[in-house]
Amino acid sequence: MKKFLKTLSANDVGSTGAHMGGILIPKGDDELLAFLPHLDPNEYNPDEWILCVTPDGREFRLRYVYYNNRFHKPNGTRNEYRITHLTKYLKSEGAKEGDIFEISKEDGATRYLMNVVPATKDEEESADNGPVRIKISAGWRRVH
DNA sequence: AGCCATGCACCG
DNA sequence: CGGTGCATGGCT
């Protein structure tokens, strides 16, 4: 099973007043890009819907988008991935800036599992005996 | 590269 | 009419 963690930013949880309701995916990481559905860079703003279940069994459909107008519009500047439609879930969990968002999936499975764990716990511990955490980009970790 | 912000459309 | 998401621009 592959599993990725992201520390939520203020903008991610909506506490900045932003109303774009979603989180940012680092681009340029092959493991993460392979883990998520494939989005064709040759398409303009391609998106894919992924099915996520929470630990308590609720299901959410999330939109995984690649904003790439940099390559498709004359003066486009966007080149980033995002996952939206998360506001409902994050609010229901009372997620705040600094908390950890987890997303995992069994190899070959179709459904993803997601979870948010409060900031205080997971961070400090696990120096060298817990699971291996590899920093792959700002805010993101991959767990083996 | 990543996070912050927003005008407008849509929908209840 | 208020909330949410889309697509995009801006700032660090």
Q: Which domain holds residue A28?
A: 2-143
- Between CA A23 and C1' C5 the distance (Å) reads 13
Tell me the C-alpha distance between A3 and A144, whole Å: 7
- How far is residue A32 from each of residues A13, A112, A116, A128, measured CA to CA in Å? 21, 13, 18, 23
The whole model's pTM is what?
Answer: 0.89
Number of domains in chain A: 1
Angle at A40 between CA A34 and CA A42, to 5 degrees: 145
A9-66 confidence digits (pLDDT tens): 999 988 777 888 789 999 878 899 999 999 999 999 999 999 999 999 999 999 999 9
Q: Which residue is nearest to nucleotide B3 (CA to C1')?
A: A11
CATH of the domain at A39: 2.40.330.10
Angle at A112 between CA A4 and CA A40, to 5 degrees: 80
Average pLDDT over every residue of A85-114: 93
Tell me the C-alpha distance between A66 and A78, whole Å: 9
Which residues from 76-115 of A have any strand C atom under 7 Å from their CB? Answer: 76-78, 84-85, 87-88, 91
Proportion of chain A above pLDDT 90, given as a percent: 72
Using a 7 Å cut-off to protein CB atoms, list the covered nucleotides of chain B: 1-8
